[in-house]
Amino acid sequence: MPVLAAELVRREVTAIVAGGAPAAVAAKAATTAIPMVFDAGIDPVEFGIVASLNRPGGNATGISLMGVELAPKLVDLLHQLLPTASVIGVLTNPTNAHNDALIGQLQEAGRLLGLRLHLLQASNANEIDSAFESLIKVQTGGIFVMMEPFFLLQRDRIVALATHHAVPAIYGWRGFVAAGGLMSYGADLADSFRQAGDYVGKILNGAKPADLPVQQPTKFDLVVNLKTATALGLTIPHRSSSAPTRSSNKRANGSFGSNFPVPGRGRE
């Protein structure tokens, strides 16, 4: 990714759009002059991409999908669906910029829920296969798949492995559910892409990234594939008005409880 970012800088492009944490970090490291709009799950302040959410400063702004902050909520939802499970698998990518922060959040969530988390790491297709084999050996009740661009590209493979091994899985993006996965909870990627595109348009028309606040999702979807749930022998709990989600047609089935509310972050 740094090589690709450096190539864009060499070509003196007008603006850079960075999708995902690795691209955002690489683009920021490559230039402090070319405007950059990111769409990623990391905390952009923590990673030094912007000075603050309200006043980004510098050459970067964009959309923060709150991937790390949402992770405990996804583990909570899986736990509510599988209340007797004592071990939950977590598929992460060790090359992702926010992998360590994510694991820290998940370990704390597991402690509060009385769960043991079995960490699985994969950065290529073969390692994904090996991760699921390991998952079966330790008899995990289900698996949370990290919100990671590489995993999104590998969603058909991941969903097929979860189906083959009959492992209930929760994902951060609804594209996995469309591919046959059990359920997802998170922001709508299409909405974030539209927001990022809007920012690019404003920058091309003269706006400065430093003056455009970093945007965060204001709504989150819980989407359930009822066909997959039935095949796994699972009963989806009825809607709970306390959980901050919105339902979608066809694959959605309402929401679970709210042991881990959707996090908010102060806009400095």
Q: Within a domain: residue 242?
A: no
Tokens of 196: 């990022």
**Which range marks the domain in which residue 195 is found?**
2-65+189-211
139 and 76 part of one domain: yes
User: Residue 84 is part of a domain; what is its CATH number?
Assistant: 3.40.50.2300
156 and 101 part of one domain: yes
Q: Within a domain: residue 19?
A: yes
Q: Within a domain: residue 11?
A: yes
Q: How many domains does the chain have?
A: 2
In tens digits, the chain (268 residues) has pLDDT values of: 889 999 999 999 999 999 888 889 899 999 999 999 999 878 889 888 999 999 999 999 999 988 878 888 999 999 999 999 999 999 999 887 677 778 888 888 888 999 999 999 999 999 999 999 888 788 889 999 998 889 999 999 999 999 999 999 999 999 999 999 999 999 888 889 999 999 999 999 999 999 999 999 888 889 999 999 999 999 887 654 334 334 333 333 344 544 445 555 444 5
Q: Which pLDDT does position 68 carry in this prediction?
A: 79
Under 8 Å CB-to-CB from 58, ≥6 apart: which residues? Answer: 32, 50, 51, 209, 210
126 and 96 part of one domain: yes
206 and 175 part of one domain: no
Q: Within a domain: residue 108?
A: yes
96 and 32 part of one domain: no
Tokens of 62: 């964009």
45 and 61 part of one domain: yes
Q: Within a domain: residue 76?
A: yes
Cα–Cα dist 91/149, whole Å: 13
132 and 201 part of one domain: no
47 and 130 part of one domain: no
| Model pTM score | 0.81
Q: Which pLDDT does position 263 carry in this prediction?
A: 53
23 and 44 part of one domain: yes
Q: What is the DSSP letter of 40?
A: E
Instruction: Give the chain's end-to-end CA distance (angstroms, integer).
Output: 30
73 and 181 part of one domain: yes
Q: Within a domain: residue 60?
A: yes
Cα–Cα dist 148/146, whole Å: 6
How many helices and strands, by DSSP H and E, does the chain display?
10, 9
32 and 96 part of one domain: no
157 and 143 part of one domain: yes
Q: Which pLDDT does position 238 carry in this prediction?
A: 62
Cα–Cα separations (whole angstroms), residue 136 to 80, 181, 228: 21, 18, 19
Q: Which pLDDT does position 245 carry in this prediction?
A: 38
Q: Within a domain: residue 44?
A: yes
Q: Which pLDDT does position 257 carry in this prediction?
A: 46
